[in-house]
């Protein structure tokens, strides 16, 4: 599509993006508009991309956001996921997408009531003392409304868009068709699309999400600085979740208040700790990586919301993975390679040479650098504000995700980590990374002497 | 004397109304359980606890009962759109959504009967069919209300679309009912989604949401 556009030098208004956007606005699914955009970018050479002005990015991003907002649900979600996962998008687009993540695309109040009643059998006013018919946020595949109980408890009520399952299937079918060239060229591997679809379908299951919330609510209770909403099961269903309302600012608003470096570092440190706590202690990671899922407060405490996408890891996988953290030897050695191969053994899958090479290179280039293993360096601060590092990291992650034969577990972790690092970058956080990881390792050798 | 006569008349009217309601209620329950075509007036009379002749006094045929029901359904839908003050300022697609949704809500307990009624709507010889005067009246009432809603929301220069759009909307509504009847998704989720999506697209296509408003402003 975009290749043709390039050849025939169509005027910008006829660009695939706009055409796709227009189709999307007619209800063919926003996946189109986003993928059109993504495809076009994929075909542009690195140089051409670089010469493009930031203003042009912003314009395209705004237009895309506008088109995406007119539709609801999976398409928007797909946009979010692709935006974080692929890492091919410029910051301007990410900023616009971040706004999109929070701004309500809007089921109108009549549809909200209809949807609520079809799921709960009653209207919102029959259940809550107050219910705001206008949403305050867009959530994964739904929107969130404020409400209160008779005793004054503040609530967030998440309501799913109707007919979401079919819409997802339709959007992905279309996405697969239009992204054929990108699949062939390897810019958007099919396995990544399949994985995304699985993830998004899983997110439509609000019953499971409520269970995730419960698990994280109790599992994280020991960490004093993080709050997770409490679910009200009797006021929830497969398409409605009633939970307690969390105070806090989204990343953009938090940063707009210019928090001091000490708070930004503290928050960053906690976000990093949260990641390792989830992976190594809970063996369940909130893998929806976009920063719309965090709420920040001035005192450095964090609210964690939206538990649609949680990946549960096998104990064997996590125990094995732990052996690789703060690995003290050479990450290009045969011993390290053996450790890596073991991760695959438990799945019965054989590691491919390509996957092994990519994983080892990635580990050597990044983990060794971000997390210096030597105990005497454990107080060293890593500066996530380094833009060159983030760029390199994102491009290497993209490479990793694209590599054939990478375990699904790694795909999930890579995605979660991309979101985390981008958030840390925006916080310009300087963190004693190794000290945090070491806290959660069970290996005696890695522990503090 | 006069007062007594008025009281008597009122009582008579009340009685008449309650009999009419009884007949409709009995008929609907039979239409739903036995099917529209299988239900006889005799059975309706029996269920309502009145003589068959009395049924004829109120409704010459069972199609008339059905028409009465559809008129009531429309009354209900119009009232529920008008009752909500917020809707007066809502965009056209939400008003139209509210209209169709409240109709479907009203029809929901009688799904089986509605299926049969739709077939009759397409039968020329039926009183519910497209050429009967009584069903034309119902159709006109519907179209008139949709026209009102469109007039409230649209710029004045959209006269061409306004001529045929309300009539086309009636066909759209019948299509939605058919879709709803065949919708096997959980809690008929797909109908809600289809209605929401198609209304957004239709209103945009017909009246070009932002474009038309801009043009109207330019002219002024």
ipTM (interface pTM): 0.85
- In order of A124, A261, A304, B47, the CA distances from A225 in angstroms are 33, 18, 11, 68
pLDDT, tens digit, 9 for 90 and up, residues A356-371: 888 888 898 898 889 9
The pLDDT value recorded for residue A428 is 94
Is A161 within 8 Å of chain B by CB? yes
What is the model's pLDDT at position A46? 44
Distances in whole angstroms, Cα of residue A394 to Cα of each of A57, A417, A422: 18, 10, 9
Of the listed ranges A13-22, A255-264, A380-389, B57-66, the one predicted with least confidence:
A13-22
- For chain A, give the mean pLDDT: 77
Given CB atoms, is A163 within the 8 Å cutoff of chain B?
A: yes
Q: Nearest Cα to A27, choosing from A78, A68, A83? A: A68
Strands (E), A108-264: 130-131, 137-139, 142-148, 154-160, 226-227, 240-244
The answer to whether B196 and A107 are in contact (CB under 8 A) is: yes
**B93/A108 CB distance under 8 A:** yes
Segment A402-418, tens digit of pLDDT: 777 777 788 788 878 88
In angstroms, the first-to-last Cα distance of chain B is: 64
State whether residue A27 sits within 8 Å of chain B by CB. Answer: yes
pLDDT attached to residue A178? 66
- Determine which of A72, A73, A108, A207 to mutate to test the interface with B (most B C-beta atoms within 10 Å): A108
Question: Number of Cβ pairs closer than 8 Å across A and B?
Answer: 56
The C-alpha angle with vertex A360 and arms to A357 and A363, in degrees rounded to 5, equals: 145
**pLDDT value, residue A27:** 35
Which pair of structure tokens corresponds to residue A93?
């687009």
Q: Does A143 touch chain B (CB under 8 A)?
A: no
CB spacing of B196 vs A111 below 8 angstroms: yes
Per-residue burial over A89-98, b if 16 or more Cβ lie within 10 Å, else e, is: bbbbbbbbbb
**Does B90 contact A108 at a Cβ distance shorter than 8 Å?**
yes
- Quick one: DSSP state of residue B91? -
Residue A258, by phi and psi: left (phi above 0), alpha (psi -120 to 50) or beta? left
Compute the residue count for chain A: 449
End-to-end CA distance of chain A: 60
Chain B contacts in chain A segment 195-254 (CB below 8 A): 238-239
Note whether B189 contacts A118, CB cutoff 8 Å.
yes
A392 vs A228: CA distance, rounded Å? 33
Q: What pLDDT band is residue A219 in, cutting at 50, 70 and 90? A: very high
B189·A163 Cβ contact <8 A: yes
Contact of A115 with chain B, judged by CB distance below 8 Å, is answered with yes
CB atoms inside a 10 Å sphere around CB A212: 21
Check residue A375 and report its DSSP letter.
G
Contact flag B190-A162 (C-beta cutoff 8 Å): yes
Would you state the pLDDT for residue A397? 86
């Amino acid at each position: 599509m975009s290749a043709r556009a390039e050849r025939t030098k169509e005027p910008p208004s006829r660009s695939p993006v706009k055409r796709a956007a227009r189709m999307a606005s007619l209800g063919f699914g926003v996946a189109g508009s986003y993928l059109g955009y993504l495809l076009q970018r994929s075909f542009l050479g690195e140089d051409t991309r670089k010469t493009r002005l930031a203003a042009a990015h912003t314009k395209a991003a705004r237009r895309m956001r506008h088109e995406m907002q007119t539709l609801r649900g999976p398409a928007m979600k797909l946009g979010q996921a692709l935006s974080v996962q692929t890492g091919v998008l410029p910051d301007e687009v990410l900023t616009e997408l971040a706004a999109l993540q929070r701004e309500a695309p809007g089921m109108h109040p009549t549809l909200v009531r209809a949807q609520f009643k079809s799921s709960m059998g009653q209207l919102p006013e029959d259940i809550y003392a107050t219910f705001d018919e206008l949403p305050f946020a867009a959530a994964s595949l739904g929107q969130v409304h404020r409400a209160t109980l008779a005793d004054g408890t503040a609530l967030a009520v998440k309501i799913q868009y109707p007919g979401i399952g079919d819409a997802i299937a339709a959007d992905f079918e279309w996405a697969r068709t239009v992204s054929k060239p990108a699949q062939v060229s390897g810019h958007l591997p099919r396995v990544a699309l399949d994985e995304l679809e699985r993830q998004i379908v899983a997110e439509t299951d609000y019953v499971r999400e409520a269970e995730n919330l419960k698990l994280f609510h109790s599992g994280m209770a020991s960490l004093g600085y993080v709050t997770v909403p409490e679910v009200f099961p009797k006021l929830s269903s497969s398409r409605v979740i009633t939970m307690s309302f969390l105070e806090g600012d989204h990343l953009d608003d938090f940063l707009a208040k210019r928090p001091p470096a000490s708070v930004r570092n503290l928050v960053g440190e906690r976000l990093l700790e949260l990641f390792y706590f989830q992976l190594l202690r809970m063996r369940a990671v909130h893998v929806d990586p976009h920063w719309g899922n965090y709420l920040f407060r001035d005192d450095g405490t964090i609210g964690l919301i939206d538990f649609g996408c949680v990946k549960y890891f096998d104990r064997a996988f996590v125990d094995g993975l732990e052996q690789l953290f703060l690995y003290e030897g050479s990450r290009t050695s045969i011993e390290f390679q053996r450790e890596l191969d073991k991760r695959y053994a438990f799945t019965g899958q054989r590691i491919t040479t390509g996957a092994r090479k990519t994983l080892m290179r990635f580990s050597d280039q990044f983990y060794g650098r971000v997390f210096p293993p030597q105990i005497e360096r454990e107080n060293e601060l890593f500066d996530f504000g380094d833009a060159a590092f983030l760029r390199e990291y994102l491009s290497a992650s993209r490479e990793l995700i694209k590599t054939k034969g990478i375990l699904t577990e790694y795909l999930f972790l890579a995605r979660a980590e991309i979101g985390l690092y981008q958030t840390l970058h925006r916080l310009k956080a300087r963190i004693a990374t190794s000290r945090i990881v070491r806290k959660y390792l069970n290996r005696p050798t890695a522990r503090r002497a | 004397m006069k007062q007594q006569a008025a009281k008597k008349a009122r009582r008579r009217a009340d009685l008449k109304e309650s009999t009419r309601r009884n007949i409709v209620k009995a008929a609907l329950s039979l239409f739903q359980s036995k099917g529209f075509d299988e239900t006889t007036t005799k059975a309706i009379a029996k269920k309502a606890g009145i003589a068959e002749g009395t049924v004829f006094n109120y409704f010459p045929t069972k199609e008339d009962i059905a028409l009465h029901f559809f008129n009531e359904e429309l009354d209900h839908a119009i009232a529920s759109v008008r009752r909500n003050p917020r809707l007066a300022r809502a965009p056209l697609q939400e008003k139209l959504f509210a209209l169709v949704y409240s109709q479907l809500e009203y029809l929901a307990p009688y799904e089986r009967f509605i299926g049969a009624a739709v077939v009759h709507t397409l039968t020329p010889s039926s009183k519910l069919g497209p050429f009967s005067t009584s069903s034309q009246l119902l159709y006109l009432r519907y179209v008139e209300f949709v026209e009102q809603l469109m007039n409230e929301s649209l710029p004045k220069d959209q006269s061409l679309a306004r001529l045929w759009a309300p009539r086309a909307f009636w066909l759209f509504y019948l299509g939605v009912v058919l879709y709803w009847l065949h919708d096997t998704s959980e809690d008929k989720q797909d109908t809600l989604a289809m209605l929401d999506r198609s209304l957004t697209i239709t209103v945009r296509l017909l009246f070009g949401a932002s474009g038309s408003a801009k043009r109207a402003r330019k002219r002024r």
